[in-house]
Structures are given as C-alpha cells and as structure tokens.
C-alpha cells in the first residue's frame, strides 16, 4: 500500500514539473521616438537630469548616445544585492538625441525592463513598470524643458 502511494506521488510530481516550465514570453521594450522643439544640448541636459534623479547612472558613449546602468532601487551598500539576486524587477535606458535643426531635435528612448519571480530564477524581459516607462520619462523631460 505504501509502495503504491509513493508511486502515485512520484507520477503526480512528474506530471506537474513540466506544467510549471514554460518558455519566456517575449516583451518589447518601452519606446519613444519624438521630435522636440528644443536644441539637442537642452534635450540632452534634461535627459541626464531626469534619469539621474530617477536613480540611473549615466554612461555617455558619444555626443548623441546615452546609456544607463540598472536603476538604483535603494540608497545604500546593499543595492547591488537587490539588483543581482533579491530584486523582482530592474530597468535600464538607452537614449539617442539627434539634432534636426537649430531649434529642434529628435529623441529616441528605449526602456529595457527585466523581472523575475523568485530568488533563484533568471532575469527575463517583462513589461515595463509605469513609473519607468518611456512615456513617463518623456513627460518628465518635457516638464524639465517646459514644453507643454
């Protein structure tokens, strides 16, 4: 009787394990591609200000491209542990500011968001959280430039 119970529980375990494993659902990054009526220098300054205030560290690759590291979630020495293992979401930003004329510029922004649902799971692409979305970042940049 006990042998059958073990066999039945093993069979149930074997059938449940594949049901939990599924391929990750691909998610597109949050994107913005707009023309702003401000010079490229002003737009770049506003982008750097907004992303820095949002907890991102800025890495300027050239005059037009900006990339960030993962957003700082907490202020302290344990932030790396939150981003590496214990966190449930993290995001980073790629920005390209191109001048179109003396008084306007084109802004392209991608917000790449990753998430996980457990301590020992891998980071996977996930939908971008609203506060970190490209549309919200654009709203903050327009407010900094006083463009309404």
pLDDT tens profile 66-92 = 999 888 766 667 666 666 666 677 889
Sorted by where each begins, the domain ranges of the chain are 25-145
Q: Does domain 25-145 have CATH number 3.30.420.40?
A: no
Q: Which residues are CB-neighbours of 84 under 8 A, at least 6 positions away?
A: none
Rounded mean pLDDT, 99-116? 90
pLDDT tens profile 18-28 = 545 555 556 67
Looking at residue 90, what is its pLDDT? Answer: 81
Contact (Cβ atoms closer than 8 angstroms) between residue 32 and residue 107: yes
| Distance from C-alpha of 104 to C-alpha of 39, rounded to nearest angstrom | 5
Per-residue pLDDT at 13 exceeds 70: no
Residue 88 buriedness (CB in 10 A; 0-12 / 13-18 / 19+): middle
Mean pLDDT across the chain, nearest whole number?
A: 81
Structure tokens belonging to residue 67: 């990339």
Rounded mean pLDDT, 90-102? 92
Rounded mean pLDDT, 54-60? 89
**Whether the model pTM is above 0.95:** no
């Amino acid at each position: 009787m006990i042998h059958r119970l073990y066999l039945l529980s093993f069979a149930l375990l074997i059938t449940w394990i594949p049901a939990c494993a599924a391929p990750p659902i691909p998610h597109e990054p949050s994107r913005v591609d707009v023309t702003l009526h401000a010079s490229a220098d002003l737009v770049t300054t506003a982008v750097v200000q907004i992303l820095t205030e949002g907890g991102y560290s800025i890495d300027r690759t050239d005059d037009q491209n900006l990339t960030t590291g993962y957003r700082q979630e907490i202020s302290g020495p344990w932030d790396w542990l939150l981003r590496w293992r214990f966190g449930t979401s993290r995001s980073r930003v790629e920005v390209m500011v191109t001048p179109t004329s003396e008084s306007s510029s084109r802004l392209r922004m991608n917000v790449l968001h990753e998430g996980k649902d457990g301590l020992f799971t891998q980071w996977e692409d996930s939908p971008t959280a609203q506060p970190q979305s490209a549309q919200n970042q654009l709203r903050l940049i327009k407010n900094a430039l006083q463009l309404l």
